[in-house]
Structure 1
C-alpha cells in the first residue's frame, strides 16, 4: 500500500511538474527584442546606451546586471554600415518580437528589409520617413532640450561674470536630426547674449573622440567658454579635454548629450566638467515599443517625444550649475511648453527668422 501511495505521489508530482512547465511556456508572453547599433555600440555613453538602458529596464534588469540577456534581449553591433542589412535579416530570421535600430543611418537598410518581413515588428529612432506598416518610428524635439542647455551655458557665463563669452558646437554626421540640436542650442545662447560668437564643427563620424578632443582643445585655447557636442561617441573627446583643462584650473565647460554625462565628466572628487546634458530619453522609445508589443498594440506609426511628455530635457546633476540658472531654465521650459517661446528646428527656418547666424555647417534633410 505504501509503495502504491509513493508511486501515486511520484506520478502526481510528475504530472504537476509537467503541468507547471507547460503553463510557464504558455503564459510567458514576455516579448523578445534585439537592439542593433552602429559601430559605437552600447558603450557610447550616449544615444545607444540610452536605448539599451530602456530595454534592460523593461525586464527589471540593470545595465550592470543583465540576467535576461540572451533569453529575452540582446544587442548586436555593426562594425561597418555594410553589415546593417545582414544584421537586420539575421534578427528577423531568428524571430525576435521586436527589432530596434538607432539612428538615421539605419533608415535605408530598414526601408529595404522591412517589406521582406511584413509580420516582423521593427523600431527606428530619429527617423519619420520609412513609412512601412510594421515600422514604429520615433522622433524627438531635440531643439527644445538643446535650447535649455544653450540657455544654461549662457546664463552660467553671465552669472560667472564672463565678458563676451564665446561658444562652440560639435556635431557627428551632418543631417536634419543633428541640425535640431545645433539650432536649439544657438537660440538658447542668443536669448541671453544676442551677439555671442558661435563656431561649429562636424566630425563626420560617430565614434572618433580624438577628433572632438583636438577641436575642443583648439577652441578652448582660443577662448571658447562652453562646447556642446551632439556626436555620439565622438563627443566624449570634448568631455575628456574639458576635464583636463578644469583640472588645471581653467574655466571651460563641456555639455553632454542624450544621456546624463555628468559622471563621465568627473575630474576631481565629485566635480564634473560637464555643466549639464541635453537629455534625449531614447529609453522611452524602447519602453514604449516593448509595452506595445506585450499588449499586442504594436503598429507602424510615428511617435514624437518632446518637453511636454518629458521626452527631452536637461540635467541638473552638476551642483555648480547655479540655482538662479536652474530657475530661469525652468521658467523657459514652461514657456516652451505653452508656446510662448518659439524654437526653430531647421537651419532654413532659423535663418528666415534671423534666429541664428549665417555661415554654419549645419545641414537640413
Structure 2
C-alpha cells in the first residue's frame, strides 16, 4: 500500500499529477491518499474507451466482503462491458473529517474523472459541495437522498423490504424464538434494516424475542469496520439465548459470523451473498443474506452515463425492481423458500407495507 501526504494547497495545485498515485484518504485535514489494496490506485479497462470513472469507497473499501465489494463488482462489470478508459478507486479512512472526503472527490474531479461515484451516505455534504464546484461532472451517491443537484444521481434502496424477508427467515428457522440484530452505526439508514428485520420476524412469530445493538454512535463510524466489536456483540446475543443473528455492520459482520460459528448458531449476512464472500471457515453458518444490489445500481449509472440517458435525482431499487432480495446459497432456506416468496409477493403487491423506521 502506497502512502503520500499532501497539504491542501498542494493538492489543489498538483491534483492532476497526484491522482496518478493517490488513493484512500486518512482522517485529518491533510488527507493521506492510499492505493486500494489489491487493485492499485488506477486500473486501465479493456475496450479502449474514453470514460474515466472515479469511485470513492466508504470505510472498509474494496475487500470488506459486503457493501463496498458490491460497488466494486458493479465497477468491474463496467470495466469489462463498457470499455472504460480508466478507473480509479479511493478509500476512506476511519474517523476522517468531511473535509477529507471533500478533498478525495475534488481530486478525482480535478483529475478529469467523470463520472464519479461516492459510496455511502457519509459523502452527502462533501458531494453536494464538490458537485457545485464541477457542474459538468456527473456524480452519483449510494444511500443518500439529501445531496441534490442537476449533476447528482441518488442511488437508493428499500433495505427494509429485503430485511423483512430475512427477518421472516430468522423467525421461521429459530428454535428458541429468540433472534438478534447487530447494526454498525446508529443512523437512520441502518435503522431501516432493523425495522424491516423486526417486522418480518414478528409477522411469523408475534411473540418472538428480538435483541438489537449498535457498535458505534455518530460521529464515530468505526462500527462498520470492527470485526472484534461485531464478535463481542453477537457473542452476547448467543449467550443470552438467541440462535440467529442478522448484521448490518459492513466489515464488522465477519466477527458476527465467528460468534455464530463458536455458538453453533446461525447468522444472516448483508448487502452481498456472504455465503460466497465471507471467510471460508464461517460460510456454513450464514443461512441467508439480505442482498442489496449496489453492483446493479453502480453499473446502471455508469451505463446511463455511457449511453447519454443519465438522470439526476433519486433512483430507488426496491423489491419490485429487484434491487433487494434474499440469498439461497447453501440450501439452508430451501425448506422455507415458498413461505418467503409468499411474503415477497405480498410486499410487491402492496398487501404488506414494511415500516422503514423502528417504533
Matched, 1:60 2:77: no
Q: Which residue of 1 aligns with 2:240?
A: 222
Q: Which residue of 1 aligns with 2:28?
A: none
Matched, 1:255 2:268: yes
Matched, 1:200 2:212: yes
1:30 Cα deviation after fit? 4.7
Larger Rg: 1
Task: Tell me the SS of whatever aligns to 1:168.
Answer: strand
Which of 124, 149, 170 is the matching residue for 2:166?
149
- Aligned-residue RMSD, C-alpha: 1.8
CA distance in 1, matches of 2:152, 2:126: 12
Tell me if the contact between 1:170 and 1:201 (Cα under 8 Å) persists in the aligned partners: yes
Q: Which residue of 2 aligns with 1:344?
A: 355
Task: Tell me the SS of whatever aligns to 2:325.
Answer: strand
1:244 Cα deviation after fit? 2.9
Q: Which residue of 1 aligns with 2:156?
A: 139
Label 1:131 to 1:141 Cα distance change in 2 as closer, same or farther (>3 A): same
Q: What are the ranges of 5 or more consecutive residues in structure 2 without an aligned counterpart?
A: 1-46, 217-222
Label 1:52 to 1:32 Cα distance change in 2 as closer, same or farther (>3 A): same
CA distance in 1, matches of 2:194, 2:234: 16
CA distance in 2, matches of 1:43, 1:155: 32
The Cα offsets for residues 295-349 of structure 1, whole Å up to 9 and x where unpaired, read as 12223221000111110000011222242x11100111111100111111122xx
Which of 305, 309, 320 is the matching residue for 1:308?
320
Moved over 4 A (4+): 27-30
Task: Tell me the SS of whatever aligns to 2:233.
Answer: helix
Q: Which residue of 2 aligns with 1:84?
A: 101
Q: Which residue of 2 aligns with 1:280?
A: 292
The Cα offsets for residues 15-56 of structure 1, whole Å up to 9 and x where unpaired, read as xxxxxxxxxxxx955522111113311111111100010110
1:155 Cα deviation after fit? 1.1
Task: Tell me the SS of whatever aligns to 1:224.
Answer: coil
TM-score between the two structures when normalised by the length of structure 2: 0.80
Q: What are the ranges of 5 or more consecutive residues in structure 1 without an aligned counterpart?
A: 1-26, 62-67, 352-365
Bigger Cα displacement from structure 2, 28-37 vs 75-84: 28-37
Task: Tell me the SS of whatever aligns to 1:41.
Answer: coil
1:223 Cα deviation after fit? 1.0
Q: Which residue of 2 aligns with 1:335?
A: 346
TM-score between the two structures when normalised by the length of structure 1: 0.79
CA distance in 1, matches of 2:356, 2:330: 27
Task: Tell me the SS of whatever aligns to 1:262.
Answer: helix
Tell me if the contact between 2:55 and 2:90 (Cα under 8 Å) persists in the aligned partners: yes
Q: Which residue of 2 aligns with 1:38?
A: 58
Which of structures 1 and 2 has the larger relative contact order (alpha carbons within 8 angstroms, sep 6+)?
Answer: 1
1:293 Cα deviation after fit? 0.9
